[in-house]
Amino acid sequence: MDKGKKRRREDEEIEAVDSDANHSLSLEQNLSFSDTLVALRMMRAQFPHIDKSQLYSSVKDRTQVDRELESLRRDKVVRVFKLNTGQDDHGIMFLDDYLKQVEHVVKRMEEKKQCDLQVFKWFKVHVIESKLEPCIGHQELYALLSLGGRMKDEHISLLINSGFLTHQLIDPSMYWFAIPNIGSILKGLSQGRKELLSLLNRRRYKKMMLAPLEKKHLRLSPLDMRFHLRDLIGSGHIKTVHTPTGIVVRVSKD
């Protein structure tokens, strides 16, 4: 397929997934649509949160995913977050969605008549825009926020309590950037993984046809079954096998 046809195919996929994407396209207008970006936009239409392993299940070349994801991160299209699941999990969020989280928190606090909210503007303008890595040190954070105005320790506490920062356990002087109100999703992610693997392990030969499996509902996770299937396929815990009767999902032997 020539480049022109491939580009048209990718544009059609994006339009079909999200017809109301004009606000996001402004961030991406100078970028060529990569396979990783197409996969991300398709997943955003289906799920509230995208785990990195889901990309591995949709774009088979992991090196390509990592390379394109790094490019999208540098171009401020997405942010990558370290997830507090006890494993080496990373979440991906479109930057415009993350900025909306900041606006939502500020609006909620304004309704509660809470004051001293200028730190969120400083955080948005001076920290999020310039610090693209998943973590930041205390001194650097303090210096960047100080570009906005007179800093107080209470300002950082407000960012932590609002869910935008979490302390690193190993080094208390370092913070992870975080997504507010993601606790229930992380709990569902961990419990859903265990429940799905347990379900498959109880089956004969530890496998099941994909079609009926997708229709099952997990008791311990609010997330869609397809979310967990993509997650576990991408992480290598389960595999899919094409057979004459359809696609089979089985627990990985290695």
| Cα(218)–Cα(225) distance, integer angstroms | 7
pTM of the model: 0.76
In order of their start, the domains of the chain are 3-75 (no CATH), 96-177 (1.10.10), 183-251 (1.10.10)
**In the block, which residue shows the tokens 């540098």?**
74
- Of 78, 64, 99, 67, the C-alpha closest to 28 is 78
Residues 6+ apart with CB under 8 A from 198: none
If residue 165 lies in a helix (H) or strand (E), which one and from where to where? strand 165-167
| Cα(105)–Cα(114) distance, integer angstroms | 11
Q: Tens place of pLDDT for every residue, the chain, 254 residues?
A: 554 554 454 444 434 333 333 333 223 333 344 677 777 776 666 555 556 556 677 666 778 888 888 999 999 999 999 988 877 888 889 999 999 999 999 999 888 877 789 999 999 999 999 999 999 999 999 999 999 999 999 999 999 999 999 999 889 899 999 999 888 888 998 999 999 999 999 998 999 999 999 999 999 998 889 889 988 998 889 999 999 999 999 999 86
Tell me how far apart the terminal alpha carbons of the chain are, to the nearest angstrom: 36
Half-sphere exposure of 92 (CA within 13 A, CB side): 26
| The pairing of beta strand 207-209 with beta strand 174-177 | unpaired
**In the block, which residue shows the tokens 């990195």?**
52
- Of 189, 179, 185, 176, the C-alpha closest to 97 is 179
| Cα(180)–Cα(174) distance, integer angstroms | 18
| Cα(52)–Cα(93) distance, integer angstroms | 10
